[in-house]
Structure 1
Amino acid sequence: MARVMMILFAHCLACLGALASGVFLLVGLDVLKGAAEPEALAIAVGPMVLLGSLLLAGVQFIPVCLIVLLAEWRSLRGLRYYLVSGLVLGLVSSLGGIEYGKASGEDLLGVVALIYALSGLVWGVIYWRMAGRTAGAWRDALPPAK
């Protein structure tokens, strides 16, 4: 049960880190384009990251469960697996952002995909650091079958 709680906690913190990196990239782009004031955006970033990370953790829960189950089943502990998984997760998640960009008339396809991909990589590193390095370790601790 402790392993499951650690996995859920690591996923929530990884989503928080991924969303924070994505929001800071978007805010930085808006500030660089002169579309927003840095002071006004600083006020909005905190609630956006906290509430958005909860939403992201809920939306990506099923795909992340599949990633974690595969890692636990096959004892995949390498950073490369979590980076590729996070990248794919970010790019699949970017489909919603791309559709939003098309609906609002902005041509940000590459930027949105890049931000989501980088956020996915951040998710992969944070999750690997917290729980992925010991994936499948519970199987090593089981007593031998008689």
Structure 2
Amino acid sequence: MSRVLGYLWRFAVIIVGFAFAAFVASAFGAVLLAGSGEPDSPLPVLDGPFYLMVSVLAALFAYHAFAPALAAILVAELLGRRDWLFHALAGAGVAAAAALLAWEHSVPVSSADTWPLLIMVACGLVAGIAYWAVAGRSSGVWLHGR
């Protein structure tokens, strides 16, 4: 019975880590998008619409990145990868895969079209590090031990 509870606990930690990573990535993406406007305008970080934008972006990021993130989390758990660099690069790969899956018919054709993809990859890097901070440091402990 304690083994089943351990598996359930690990599953809950993975879910919380995924949700935290989605919120951190959306906050980072919102700051990047808010800062790309006028050079002299202040950042609208403390405004109400900013928090609404973060929540909506988190839901969109989590929706589009679920399948690639599930594969990356499964690889990290089975291989027991606990380093932050693996999770950061996996987050970038998950973000790139999610962006390409979401935009399957509109492949970037010019350098101006790649800006949203670069923002998504940067958000994926930050999300991977956020996931590592919550759940990635103990990846594979349930399977391989310390």
Partners of 1:15 and 1:82 lie apart in 2 by 14
What letter is aligned with 1:90?
A: A
Deviation at 1:20, TM superposition (A): 0.8
Give the drift of 1:38. Answer: 5.2
Corresponding residue for residue 25 of structure 1: 32
Please give the alpha-carbon distance, in whole angstroms, between the structure 2 residues aligned to 1:89 and 1:56.
10
Deviates more, 1:127-136 or 1:42-51: 42-51
State the shift of 1:21 in Å.
Answer: 0.4
Deviates more, 1:117-126 or 1:93-102: 93-102
In 2, the alpha carbon distance for the partners of 1:113 and 1:85 equals 16
Write the letter of the residue equivalent to 2:13. Answer: M
Aligned counterpart in structure 2 of residue 124 of structure 1, from 99, 106, 128: 128
CA distance in 2, matches of 1:86, 1:48: 21
Moved over 6 A (4+): none
The structural deviation recorded for 1:114 is 2.2
Unmatched tracts of structure 2, length 5 or more: 1-7
Distance 1:70 1:136, change over 3 A: same
Instruction: Tell me the TM-score normalised to structure 1 length.
Output: 0.78
- The range that moved more, 92-101 or 79-88, is 92-101
Alignment RMSD: 3.0
C-alpha distance 6-39 of structure 1, shift in aligned 2 (>3 A):
closer
Letter in 1 for 2:135: A
Q: Which structure has greater helix proportion?
A: 1
Q: How many pairs does the alignment contain? A: 136
SS of 1:63's partner is: helix
C-alpha spacing 1:39/1:135, structure 2 compared with 1 (3 Å): closer
SS in 2 for 1:31: coil
Q: Which position in structure 2 is the counterpart of 1:59?
A: 64
User: TM-score normalised to the size of structure 2?
Assistant: 0.78
